[in-house]
Every structure is written in structure tokens, then in C-alpha cells.
């Protein structure tokens, strides 16, 4: 049986919230709602070469991801920010697809945690 690595490091994140599980769950429940992330919007901004808007969305999501303990998403967003500096359109297009998949999986793990806790 294959063990999937966790996308959400709950114990570490909880320590940032003073072990206040209710506060942590409140932020998690708003995670998808608070973010402007969508593959379509990122692709549209990239097509328009609106790197400033891309950076704003990615940077905000990176901060929230780090706070809630979504380390893989955080790392991918950090790497995406570096690609934005180079304005490498082809690599950014590929990475948007990767980010979308990882974001979707992270949201699913958040929903599962909220359902079970």
C-alpha cells in the first residue's frame, strides 16, 4: 500500500496558533474562499503578461499556505515566484498546471481534516 505524503502539517501549524484548534480550523475553512487562486485567472494574467498581478496572488497564497502548514504548496509557490522574476512564459504555463493540481489536493486534504475533526 502506497502512503501519500501529507500536504498539511497540522501539528507545526497549530503551534503558530498557540495550539488553538478552533482558530486554526476557522482559517482552514476560509482557505479556498480567501484566495484568488484559479488556474484560469493565472493563465489569463500570464497571457496578458500581467506579472504584477500574478505576483500579488501567488505571494498572498504563499503566505497563507505557510501559516496553515501547507509546506509543499508553499515551496511550489516560492519556486513560482522565482520563475516570475525571469518572466519565463513557457515554464510558468507548465507550473500553473502543477500548482493547480497541488492546490486542489491541498484543499481536499483541508476539507478531509475539517470533516474528521
Rounded (to 5) percent helix, strand, coil in the chain: 80, 0, 20
- Tens digit of each residue's pLDDT (9 = 90 or more) over 98-111: 999 999 999 999 99
Query: What is the reported pLDDT for 33?
Result: 74
Q: What is the pTM of this model?
A: 0.89
Stronger pLDDT, 42 or 32, i.e. the higher one: 42
Cell numbers given for 77: 509557490
Question: Buried (b) or exposed (e) across 7-41, using 16+ Cβ within 10 A?
Answer: bbebeebbeebeeeeeebbeebeebeeeeebeeee
Q: What is the pLDDT of residues 41-86, one digit of tens each?
A: 999 999 999 999 999 999 999 999 999 999 999 999 999 999 999 9
Residue predicted with more confidence, 47 or 117:
47
Average confidence (pLDDT) over 91-103: 96
What pLDDT is attached to residue 5? 64
Residue 32: predicted pLDDT: 81
pLDDT at 36: 80
CATH of span 10-116: 1.20.120
Amino acid at each position: 500500500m502506497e502512503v501519500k505524503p501529507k500536504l498539511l502539517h497540522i501539528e507545526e501549524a497549530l503551534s503558530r496558533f498557540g495550539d488553538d484548534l478552533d482558530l486554526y480550523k476557522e482559517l482552514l475553512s476560509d482557505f479556498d474562499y480567501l484566495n484568488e487562486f484559479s488556474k484560469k485567472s493565472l493563465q489569463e494574467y500570464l497571457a496578458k503578461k500581467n506579472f504584477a498581478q500574478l505576483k500579488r496572488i501567488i505571494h498572498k497564497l504563499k503566505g497563507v499556505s505557510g501559516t496553515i502548514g501547507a509546506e509543499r504548496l508553499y515551496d511550489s509557490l516560492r519556486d513560482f515566484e522565482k520563475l516570475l522574476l525571469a518572466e519565463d512564459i513557457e515554464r510558468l504555463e507548465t507550473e500553473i498546471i502543477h500548482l493547480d493540481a497541488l492546490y486542489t489536493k491541498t484543499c481536499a486534504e483541508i476539507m478531509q481534516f475539517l470533516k474528521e475533526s
